[in-house]
Structure 1
Amino acid sequence: MQGQAFEQPFYTEKAVWLKWGPYEAAVVPEIGANLIAFRDTVNGYAFLREPKADEIEQFKANTIVYGIPVLFPPNRYDDGKFTFQGREYTFPVNEPASGNHLHGFFHDTPWTVEDYGVTKTESYVSLKVTVDEQHAIYRYLPHRFTLRLRYSLNETGLLQHVSVHNEGNEDIPCMIGFHTTVNAPFAPGSTPEDCTFTLTIGERWELSDRSLPTGKKLPLLPEEERMKSGGITPYWGAMDNHYTAVPQNGRNAMELTDHRIGKTLVYDVSSAYKQWMIWNNNMSNQYFCPEPQLNLVNAPNSSLPAEETGFVTLEPGGIWESTSRLYVK
């Protein structure tokens, strides 16, 4: 059997590793169920930004800029406050410069490993975090619900399945995204100049000086048009930009091509994600983050309709779920 699933530390941290053919991946359950590594060991490709051995404490202090962190809710919320169905929610202001709450609570909280193993077709791990009256997150999101993540590997690459299950008797605001941190380049011997990418964006949201959407949209720059089709370097400018997602040919995806080796990394996400954020750490020339989001930044405080913002109300007993995939072509 070509697959494996086993527990082995990622440096100092507890991790579950998956292997299948040339691929391997690692999840750190106690640090937000972050999928911290996805690699092609035959070709030496490292698709996601990973902390090095001497960067583990740095990773734990800033989990957002490594691997695939879970954002619930994603991005920024004005003064950390919003109202949903007459109830006011107050989150800590953890970005003092903007006066906003940023990125939610699940990217650094411990998750539980439900199961891992190998079948005839994949190696997999399933993780969950359940919020109830006893959980620390309940004081900010006073609802009973469970988030689940399932990652699997096979010859086609990495598959992510995520679900949110409302286990209470009230509607809950369902807002989720992923701060996926992609190495560009991902191949040894390649340079940033070897890489171009495309992203299925539609229009760009105007952001205020506090990085909150104004509700207006801006015309795309020529470079952004090249993001839509044709391709451009991920470092064409400093990006912390917000866009509508508009699938192309039925798919909502980021594609990163290394022209030196003639390979393309595809990040194919569900069309349920109505928005993209993209951030490149001030043109780091090392990594960038194409971030699929279910909802507009600060969506509950927007006067725009839910159909446009992507804001989801999850009814009692309801399950929202989606899949995404990372693979090479």
Structure 2
Amino acid sequence: MKNTTQLINWNGTTCVKLNSGGYEALIAYEIGSNVIRLRNNIVGMEFFRYKDDNTADDIRQSAEVWGLPTLYLPNRFADGVLKTSDAVYHLPVNEKAPFNNHIHGFLHRRVFEVVEHNADNNCAWLKTRYVYDENDEFFQYLPVPFIAEYTFTLSENGLEQDIKFTNTSGTKVLPMSLASHTSLSAPFVDGAKESDIRLTVPIGKKCELNERCLPTENLKSLTMWDLEYKTGNKCPVLQVCDNDMYFGECTELDHEKFHGIIAEDIASGKKLCYEVSDEYKFWIIWNDRGFNHYFCPEPMTAMIDAPNLSLPADVTGYREVKPGETFEAHERFFSK
């Protein structure tokens, strides 16, 4: 079957549809370049939380919990404060009491531009870009201009996303914490049962969170609950997984080192694989109380509230992009 890309109208927003290698992807560049659908038609696998009758406005209203939204700045900043090496920024507190945090930033709601979409004999691809400057309403809180560039590549190897952030400020460092609020479908195999899902997450120590979902800076050893992630025995739905946050490690896939998570339908043996680059140092597992037919293994490059913690940066994962420099990350989804 020929590899293709096309612009389509999907329930009120223009998307780019990619087809290649038995996979199809639908990317809503007007909603943060969210991959609102990824499907493998050969094995019958629906990767992300998706509904045919969703409208574009439905997704905009809760863009964090559909498809594959890329978050900048992700997760929580206590009282909206973000401390960098050369400034202190006050972000809007958009998570109400008792939390009183800034949560999830702004980029997943922005309208990106399509730079290029095309296909050849090997793959189909889409490149999108967002230029962040004084024209963005968030700039009053974070006056550090940057360019975000995403490249999506679909092939028989699955869907790959390459992410680049370039600091264009000239004077200020760009705080860098990045995450995907990956919303995986439950079940993800056509006709399967949610109770047959088992999730493997290669984890190290657990990051204890307080009642505001902020790190206490206490790093805990793993309990039996936590070890179910590591051993691949965790059913990530039909029970509550509420912001379980861990240092990420590596597992094995086909006897090779694998930096990512694996979800398996144990009845069929089909696996949904999610590989991330080494920039992603943490995993948070959340499932919206467990009975809404999706679960979120979220890779993060830095801890929650990382720039404000007293822990060193080589522990928290927090980093800063100097003027003129670029931060890059990569992730891939595929079925086995």
- Between 183-192 and 299-308, the greater mean CA deviation after superposition: 183-192
Between the aligned partners of 2:133 and 2:228, the Cα distance in structure 1 is 46
Q: 1:292 aligns with which of 292, 299, 323?
A: 299
Between the aligned partners of 2:122 and 2:207, the Cα distance in structure 1 is 41
The one-letter amino acid of 1:291's match is E
Q: Which residue matches 1:189?
A: 191
Q: Does 1:239 align with 2:246?
A: no
SS of the residue corresponding to residue 315 of structure 2 reads helix
Q: Which residue matches 1:33?
A: 33
Q: Is the CA contact 1:28–1:34 (under 8 Å) kept in the aligned structure 2? A: yes
Q: Is the CA contact 1:116–1:126 (under 8 Å) kept in the aligned structure 2? A: yes
Q: Does 1:49 align with 2:49?
A: yes
Q: Is the CA contact 2:21–2:157 (under 8 Å) kept in the aligned structure 1? A: no
Q: Does 1:262 align with 2:263?
A: no
Between the aligned partners of 2:309 and 2:136, the Cα distance in structure 1 is 29
Q: Which residue matches 2:96?
A: 96
The one-letter amino acid of 1:195's match is I
Matches within 5 A, 1:121-270: 121-169=122-170, 170-235=172-237, 236-249=239-252, 250-270=257-277
The one-letter amino acid of 1:198's match is T
Q: Is the CA contact 1:251–1:271 (under 8 Å) kept in the aligned structure 2? A: no
Q: Which residue matches 2:108?
A: 107
Between the aligned partners of 1:324 and 1:166, the Cα distance in structure 2 is 21
The one-letter amino acid of 2:201's match is L
Q: Deviations over 1:172-212 (max 9, x none)?
A: 11111110100121112111111101012111111110000
Q: Is the CA contact 1:171–1:316 (under 8 Å) kept in the aligned structure 2? A: yes
- Where do 5+ consecutive residues of structure 2 fail to align? none
Matches within 5 A, 1:305-324: 305-324=312-331
Between the aligned partners of 2:69 and 2:200, the Cα distance in structure 1 is 22
Q: Give the C-alpha shift of residue 277 in structure 1.
A: 1.1
- Where do 5+ consecutive residues of structure 1 fail to align? none
SS of the residue corresponding to residue 251 of structure 2 reads coil
Q: Give the C-alpha shift of residue 55 in structure 1.
A: 4.9
Q: Give the C-alpha shift of residue 246 in structure 1.
A: 1.6
Q: Give the C-alpha shift of residue 21 in structure 1.
A: 3.1
Q: Residues 33 and 258 from structure 1, CA distance in 2 versus in 1: closer, same or farther, beyond 3 angstroms?
A: same
TM-score (norm 2): 0.94
Aligned length, in residue pairs: 329
Between the aligned partners of 1:51 and 1:90, the Cα distance in structure 2 is 36
**Root mean square deviation, CA, Å:** 1.5
SS of the residue corresponding to residue 187 of structure 2 reads coil
TM-score (norm 1): 0.96
Q: Is the CA contact 1:51–1:66 (under 8 Å) kept in the aligned structure 2? A: no
Q: Give the C-alpha shift of residue 262 in structure 1.
A: 1.4
Q: Is the CA contact 2:10–2:56 (under 8 Å) kept in the aligned structure 1? A: no
Q: Does 1:8 align with 2:3?
A: no
Between the aligned partners of 2:320 and 2:216, the Cα distance in structure 1 is 22
- Between 241-250 and 30-39, the greater mean CA deviation after superposition: 241-250
Between the aligned partners of 1:153 and 1:54, the Cα distance in structure 2 is 24
Q: Residues 55 and 7 from structure 1, CA distance in 2 versus in 1: closer, same or farther, beyond 3 angstroms?
A: closer
Between the aligned partners of 1:55 and 1:231, the Cα distance in structure 2 is 35
Identity of aligned residues (%): 32
